[in-house]
Homo-oligomer: A and B are copies of this chain.
């Protein structure tokens, strides 16, 4: 099974997703700055993967401070703050760092830093291990939503093994449903500007011989109109208390198109993607990235000079477009306010345990 994140002998190996599918190459991260840079450059991307990578990044940073008891705690806080600044939208990043700092906070400031670092390493490993388990549960719950034969689904961006520690959220569901014979084919939006659909999702699925049809993003409506897909499945970068979902730019357009064609629109995401502190998607910060991502391709300039470029990396799909949200605790249905409040409560119980 493909692993985008491997922690081995105190080194974090990140599969460099910017080089796929041409090259399978891991980046060896021996310090937190390399991890931060990898997140910023999208060498590791996907909400759950970013969270796990940041957790290990904090371990690497803490390890550098191990000999300096004086600076350990302020240093840890600074590194956590720096990791938080790498990307703004995916809440898993903040969730993972919060969880790591919570572990550290259980120790007295006089504790030998080596003990705290060991505890942080255990917690980062736990985050990674749990992510795999969570994705398996999401996959099993999600596959139950598919009952008909001859199902083809459409997905946008990459919510697969590459976006997580393993297996994937939306692609986890797709893998599971396919293995159960419920899905026969996956339509993949190429997902401009960075082509995560073409480069990552199509590649992941092709490796497992799941039939893929790649399309450009602007073909999704026509594919639906022609009756070629019966469901849409995507991941999420942040989900608000009311069920509004931030995900890769273009997700909102796909959701509107799905609604127009009476096609169910499913979101698959772990509880770590829910932001229980915000009431709606209006509060989700949307990252805007460099104009070069749109104006150039593979180093070739495709747009003229002297024009403006708008490059939001995400959009927000309002809850009314979402048929169901698949989590490791089960499938949430509207009204999402209530369903997510219940989830928050069960999650609180789990954390306290």
Contacts and interface: CB of A to CB of B under 8 A. Distances in A.
Nearest to A298: B300
A339 to B, nearest CB: 24
Interface string A146-179: 0000000000100000000000000000000000
Contacts of A205: 307
A102 interface: no
Interface stretch (A48-56, A108-116, A210-218): A210-218
A294 B190 CA distance: 9
Interface stretch (A136-144, A269-277, A308-316): A308-316
A11 interface: no
Interface string A200-225: 00110110000111111111111101
Interface in A314-351: 315
A256 interface: yes
Contact of A294 (B21, B214, B294, B302): B214
Contacts of A225: 252, 315
A303 interface: yes
A132 to B, nearest CB: 24
Given A214-B309, A253-B253, A304 B203 contact: yes
Interface residues of A, number: 57
A198 interface: yes
A1 interface: no
A186 to B, nearest CB: 10
A254 to B, nearest CB: 8
A241 interface: no
A206 B306 contact: yes
A248 to B, nearest CB: 8
Contact of A310 (B217, B219, B303, B312): B219
B213 A308 contact: yes
Given A213-B310, A310-B223, A218 B303 contact: no
Contacts of A303: 21, 190, 198-199, 202-203, 214
A17 interface: no
B253 A307 contact: no
A264 interface: no
Q: Which of A187, A202, A294 has the most CB of B within 10 A?
A: A202
Contacts of A307: 202, 205-206, 212-214
Given A206-B305, A206-B306, 16 more contacts: A189-B218, A190-B294, A192-B216, A192-B217, A198-B294, A198-B303, A202-B303, A203-B304, A213-B307, A214-B308, A216-B217, A217-B250, A218-B218, A219-B253, A222-B312, A298-B300
8 contacts: A190-B294, A198-B303, A199-B304, A206-B305, A214-B309, A218-B250, A218-B254, A221-B252
